[in-house]
Amino acid sequence: MAGHSDKPLAGVIGWPVAHSRSPRLHGHWLQRYGIAGYYVPLAVEPAHLPAVLSALPRMGFVGANVTIPHKEMVLSLADRISDRARRIGAANTLTFREGRLEADNTDGLGFIANLRDHRPDFDAGRGPVAVLGAGGAARAIIAALLDEGAMEIRLANRTRARAEALAQALDPKRIRVVDWERASDIFVDVALAVNTTSLGMEGAEPFDLTLPMLGPQVLATDLVYAPLITPFLARARQQAAQIVDGLGMLLHQAAPGFERWFGRRPVVDAALRAAVLAEE
């Protein structure tokens, strides 16, 4: 395509986007594999999203990640939507191919890969799963857990109707909705405990739920990764659970996009983690 830089370009589209760690993440891989490409933050107001998405491929972009608040809206602008993105109702990974915009969602893959890094024999069907929160991220991880064979998912969300809509859309038989006032109860005798709410995130409201005794057979993970050890994870550890922080999910969800855009399957390891955590 004459006129384009032959260096592939990709980026993350958000509003705001300055906080995103994706440029550092992809930047580390580009440097490590000696790929002459760029990955940049793209601050795009919601009203400008359609114009930006039609302009990016003409500027040499091969793809992009999308983050808050565009993850749902982007589906209405895509030419092709993967089955899992359609089921989740949101996309995080876009590829521009032959004039078409392809939308996919890799959050669920990232979530499961992160758990398997810590427990290679992780089996979603081993016992009940407790999930706090029913937002976009919860949809992605619950769809992945169902695909991995989870038989009983107990779901508590502040806005109960949102949890019920999620259960209805994904699997009303295997997802049981519990009132937020009784959220502590969903953790009794679970194999996996997950916080998908923003409670406990830096700058967000505090996490103040009490957890019952969990035990070392329980795996607890939080999607929030700032701070790395969230109040939910600290409490789960006090109750003897094994904990897995949410940064690994962010690293793993990025890998399929990098491979599609830059042609190399990247690894997720301690060096990547350190690069993403490094101070500016």
Tell me the catalytic residues: 71
198 binds ligand NAP per the rule CB under 6 A: yes
- Strand segments, DSSP code E, in the chain are 9-14, 38-43, 61-66, 80-81, 93-97, 100-104, 129-132, 153-156, 175-178, 192-195, 219-222, 242-244
Binding mask 216-235 toward ligand NAP (x if CB under 6 A, else -) reads -------xxx----------
Residue 76 touches ligand NAP, criterion: CB under 6 A: no
Q: 60 or 113: whose CB is closer to ligand NAP?
A: 113
Place of tokens 């992605």: 140
CB of 181 to ligand NAP, least distance (A): 11
Nearer to ligand NAP, 60 or 104 (CB): 104
Rounded Cα distance between 90 and 73, Å, is: 8
Those residues with Cβ within 8 angstroms of residue 178's Cβ, 6 or more apart along the chain or in another chain: 154, 155, 156, 185, 186
Q: Residue 192, SS3?
A: strand
168 binds ligand NAP (CB under 6 A): no
Residues β-bridged to residue 13: 42, 66
| Residue among 97 and 184 whose Cβ is closer to ligand NAP | 184
Minimum CB distance to ligand NAP, residue 241 (Å): 18
Locus of tokens 């490409």: 37
Q: Which stretch binds ligand NAP (CB under 6 A): 41-49, 50-58, 182-190, 247-255?
A: 247-255
**Nearer to ligand NAP by C-beta: 97 or 160?**
160
Strands (E), 98-198: 100-104, 129-132, 153-156, 175-178, 192-195
> Whose Cβ is closer to ligand NAP: residue 150's or residue 250's?
250
By CB under 6 A, tell whether 196 contacts ligand NAP: yes
- Supply the minimum distance, in Å, between the C-beta of residue 226 and ligand NAP: 8
- Interacting residue with ligand NAP among 5, 31, 54, 159 (CB under 6 A): 159
8 Å CB contact between 196 and 131: yes
Q: Is 250 in the site for ligand NAP (CB under 6 A)?
A: yes
* In the complex, minimum distance from the CB of residue 260 to ligand NAP, in angstroms, rounded to a whole number: 18
Burial 222-256 (b: 16+ CB within 10 A, else e): bbbbeeeebbbbebbeebebbbbbbbbbbbbbbbb
Site for ligand NAP in 105-144 (CB under 6 A): 107, 110, 133-138
Q: Which residue is nearest to ligand NAP (CB)?
A: 135
Give one word for 151, left, alpha or beta, with left for phi > 0 and alpha for psi -120 to 50: alpha
Q: Which residues bind ligand NAP (CB under 6 A)?
A: 107, 110, 133-138, 157-159, 162, 196-199, 201, 205, 223-225, 246, 249-250, 253
